[in-house]
């Protein structure tokens, strides 16, 4: 063995990996990555830079074809994890998208089939998919569920709120865990709660333009608008206090979401971090104290990425990677629970 220690950590591959939020959580829980698949070049590069793991920077369809023809061969894979695209299931995307965009999103709805084809070919003990909550209430999920059960997997689909697992953010996501080793458990909710101050209080109040702590150059009118919004406030505060600088479309819309042009609060969890967090008009993304939207690094911290995590790409590329990621701390809770499940089933199996 040339003096080298054998790595006995359980292994996983990550499909639709993005920059690697789900993988990071698994690694923190004691798993070892073997491979990742991600079609977005920038996200694939981010994954490669952080995990030093082979990445298929291309389509899942082509990867599955390589598996089927045995042009890619893996040693034992204990788990396959991933987040098939969710735009076709997300109500947020459907509300504002043009018909062409909706049709494109809907074409992504069945990519879970390639995920389960990989499961069928590699036969891992565990698989985990992550998606928007609407997925497990959809017709596509019924097909997914039937296919997984035909492959011999016990399923546990459920919605988890990241804030209940130590993440400083209210973020609900659907996890479906499949196991060949009996009914898979869900992680227990943490007694710890985290807030925006815990996440970003260590960063300079004014962006220093280092390590993605990057500021924007708002117009004078935008800056005046920011100043009107108190902690926990939103566009209605702007409408009430400064109608003269309120966009006319908001003045006409007396009701609606309370997150738009909202300001975060230091001692509360953030709202869901999405891909356009740098635009205050898209949600509750104003800094709790400074008159500006949160920076890319602040958004990453709220997602529980460490400051050492490397992001590759343009500002828009990286914002998308951050907003689409699974919070690593939530992923770690899931990964620890599944690892305990496998160990427990192995222990019982040895006694049978």
Pairing, β 284-286 against β 262-263: parallel
Q: Is 86 a catalytic residue?
A: yes
Q: Please say whether the beta carbons of 36 and 87 come within 8 A.
A: no
- CA-CA distance, 45 to 243, in Å (whole number)? 45
Backbone angles phi, psi at 71, to 5 degrees: -90, -15
Helix (H), strand (E) counts: the chain: 14, 9
Q: Which tokens belong to 51?
A: 């995990």
Q: What Rg, from alpha-carbon coordinates, does the chain have?
A: 21
Catalogue the E-assigned strands of the chain.
11-15, 32-37, 55-56, 79-82, 126-131, 154-161, 172-179, 262-263, 284-286
- CA-CA distance, 218 to 225, in Å (whole number)? 10
Q: Please say whether the beta carbons of 264 and 284 come within 8 A.
A: yes
- CA-CA distance, 70 to 63, in Å (whole number)? 11
- CA-CA distance, 271 to 230, in Å (whole number)? 16
Taking Cα atoms as reference points, which of 95, 19, 74 lies closest to residue 318?
Answer: 19
For tokens 């496998």, the residue is: 342
Give start and end residues of each alpha helix (H) in 174-295: 196-200, 220-228, 235-241, 248-252
Active-site residue, selected from the candidate residues 19, 53, 86, 301? 86
Catalytic residues: 86
């Amino acid at each position: 063995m040339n003096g080298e220690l054998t790595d006995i950590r359980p292994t996983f591959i990550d499909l639709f990996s993005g920059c690697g939020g789900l993988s990071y959580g698994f690694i923190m829980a004691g798993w070892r990555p073997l491979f990742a698949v991600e079609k977005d070049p920038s996200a694939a590069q981010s994954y490669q830079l952080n995990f030093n793991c082979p990445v298929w920077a291309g389509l899942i369809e082509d990867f599955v074809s390589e598996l089927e023809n045995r042009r890619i061969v893996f040693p034992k894979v204990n788990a396959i994890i991933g987040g098939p695209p969710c735009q076709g299931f997300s109500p947020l995307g459907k509300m504002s998208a043009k018909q062409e965009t909706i049709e494109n999103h809907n074409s992504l709805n069945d990519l879970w089939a390639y995920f389960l084809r990989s499961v069928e070919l590699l036969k891992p003990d565990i698989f985990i998919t992550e998606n928007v909550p609407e997925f497990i209430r959809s017709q596509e999920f019924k097909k997914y569920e039937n296919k997984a059960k035909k492959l011999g997997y016990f399923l546990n689909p459920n919605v988890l709120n990241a804030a209940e697992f130590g993440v400083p953010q209210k973020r609900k996501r659907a996890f479906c865990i499949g196991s060949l080793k009996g009914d898979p458990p869900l992680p227990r909710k943490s007694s710890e709660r985290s807030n925006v101050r815990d996440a970003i209080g260590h960063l300079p109040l004014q962006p220093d333009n280092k390590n993605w702590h990057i500021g924007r150059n708002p117009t004078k009118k935008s800056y005046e608008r920011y100043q009107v919004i108190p902690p926990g406030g939103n566009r209605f505060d702007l409408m009430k206090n400064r109608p003269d600088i309120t966009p006319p479309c908001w003045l006409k819309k007396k009701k609606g979401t309370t997150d738009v042009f909202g300001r975060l609060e230091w001692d509360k969890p953030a709202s869901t971090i999405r891909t356009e967090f740098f635009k205050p008009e898209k949600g509750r993304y104003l800094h709790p104290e400074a008159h500006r939207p949160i920076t890319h690094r602040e958004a990453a911290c709220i997602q529980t990425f460490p400051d050492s995590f490397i992001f590759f790409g343009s500002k828009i590329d990286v914002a998308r990677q951050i907003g689409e990621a699974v919070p690593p701390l939530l992923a770690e809770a899931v990964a620890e629970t599944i690892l305990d499940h496998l160990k427990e089933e192995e222990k019982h199996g040895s006694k049978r």
